[in-house]
Amino acid sequence: MILFFSQRIRTCSNVSIAEILLQIQEAPFLSFPIRDVTNIRCWLATIVQPILDKYGMREVEEDSGIALDKLAMNLAEARLHIDCVACSSPLLFEMSEKFGSREGVEDTTKVANDIFHYIARFLSGNFVQNQLDRLVLSSSLMCPHSPAYNRAFAGLKYEEMPAVEGSGNLNGFLVAIIIVVGVLLSLASVLVLVTRYISRQRHATWCRSLTREQFAELMKEQLDTKNREIDLNNRVTSLASCQDVPMIVRVLMPLIILGNVGLFLSGHLSLGGTVNIIGTFAGQGKKDRTVSVGRMTNLANTGT
């Protein structure tokens, strides 16, 4: 669907404050040759050069050379007009009306100021400062009358920034889990061993308390049990050839196990899931997807 609209932004009382600190070297400034007066690089070369590390970052955080400070922008009122020329979406008509309302103007002004505040913070931050530092540093190499002038200069080269370490220490987490599991397993093992030891001790004490006839009877009983176990082993065959297992199960079970191995392999090698991104703008496709979108609105928040 093609939409055409024109937009106008009218601002009132736009206030911008910026403090730019320039530390200029006296000697290069006073001996500035007339022939380079139009070369901006040469003017930048007169500024005190910052000291950058191997990553191209300032080593000292002090304001030296060129620095952008106390940057602030503010709007007293921002009024945004949108005129729909050929809009098919009802939401864009609605939006153009809302921009003209008093609440709309107030909110537009607030959002514009928030954005300006954000931009001001961004411009006062390290990123812009770093670009300015590099500009100053490269200017001395590009200015023909500068002592550091390099005709074959092809840009400053710095090492790549090392990747930022994640906040979570995975190995520490694993060690914590291993310690907890290890302690639990050790406790359980100790408990089992102690219980067995106590049982054996009690059994030994009980055996000692028996008369010779009773003990002999106990030994015979134990021997009979062992013999019965051996006999039972001789009677029982493998499950694959056991007559008590229905024929269909005997035939199917190995096939099921093999099939299941195949299923596991398929599960591990095939795609487990894909991340899809679905978006809508200005109420397009609203007619056929109203229900779905309505349901989906809280999909990400249905956790609790």
Partner 1 sequence: MTASDFNVEGFFEFSVVQSTIEMWQAGAYPLAILIAIFSGVWPYTKQCLSMYIWFSTTKSLSCKRRGRILVWLDVLGKWSMVDVFVLVLTLASFALSIESPRHLSFLPEGLYSVRMLVVPKWGLYANMLAQFVAQISSHVIIHFHRKSINKADVDQRVEMGLERPKDGTQSKALCEHCFHLDHDTRAVVRKGFKRVLISSFFLFALLVIPGCSFPSFSKETLGIVGLVIESGNPNLEEAYTYYSVFGLARSIAEQGRFLGTLPDLVGLGTLASLLIVTVLLVPLAQAACLFVMWFVPLTKRRRATSRVLNEILGAWQYTEVYVLSIFITSWQLGGVSEYMVSRAASSIHLQQSKVLQLTNPQDQRVLRIP
Tell which positions 79-108 bind partner 1, by CB under 8 A.
80, 89, 91-92, 94-95, 98-99, 101, 103-104, 106-108
Is residue 296 close enough to count as binding partner 1 by CB under 8 A?
Answer: yes
- Is 20:102 a contact under the CB 8 Å cutoff? no
Closest C-alpha to 68, from 115, 128, 136: 128
Is residue 212 close enough to count as binding partner 1 by CB under 8 A?
Answer: no
Task: Kindly tell me which of 138 and 284 has the beta carbon lying closer to partner 1.
Answer: 284
Query: Which 27-46 positions form the footprint of partner 1 (CB under 8 A)?
Result: none
| Min dist. Cβ of residue 145 to partner 1 (A) | 31
Task: Kindly tell me which of 35 and 228 has the beta carbon lying closer to partner 1.
Answer: 228
Task: Kindly tell me which of 38 and 241 has the beta carbon lying closer to partner 1.
Answer: 241
Is residue 135 close enough to count as binding partner 1 by CB under 8 A?
Answer: no
Is residue 195 close enough to count as binding partner 1 by CB under 8 A?
Answer: no
Query: Which 49-68 positions form the footprint of partner 1 (CB under 8 A)?
Result: 55, 57
Return the range that interacts with partner 1 (CB under 8 A); candidates 66-74, 148-156, 184-192, 289-297: 289-297
DSSP string of 69-116, one letter each residue: EEEEEEEEEEEEEEEEEE---HHHHHHHHHHHSHHHHHHHHHHHHHHH
Is residue 182 close enough to count as binding partner 1 by CB under 8 A?
Answer: no
Retrieve residue 40's tokens.
């901006």
Handedness of CA 222, 228, 230, 233 (dihedral sign): negative
Query: Which 215-274 positions form the footprint of partner 1 (CB under 8 A)?
Result: 228-229, 231-240, 242, 244-245, 249, 253-254, 256-261, 263-264, 266-274
Choosing from 147, 159, 212, 303, the residue that interacts with partner 1 (CB under 8 A) is 303
| Helix H or strand E encompassing 67 | strand 66-86
- Is 28:47 a contact under the CB 8 Å cutoff? no
| Min dist. Cβ of residue 48 to partner 1 (A) | 21
Contacts of 113 (CB under 8 A, 6+ apart): 73, 74, 75
What is the pattern of x (binds partner 1, CB under 8 A) and - over residues 153-172? --------x-xx-xxx-xx-
CA atoms within a 13 Å half-sphere pointing along the CA-CB vector of 157? 2
Choosing from 29, 153, 173, 215, the residue that interacts with partner 1 (CB under 8 A) is 173
Instruction: Name the amino acid, one letter, at 50.
Output: P
Retrieve residue 260's tokens.
């299941």
Query: Which 3-22 positions form the footprint of partner 1 (CB under 8 A)?
Result: 3-5
| Min dist. Cβ of residue 140 to partner 1 (A) | 22
| Min dist. Cβ of residue 120 to partner 1 (A) | 12
- Is 12:76 a contact under the CB 8 Å cutoff? yes
Q: What residues are paired with 14 via a beta bridge?
A: 75
Q: What residues are paired with 12 via a beta bridge?
A: 77
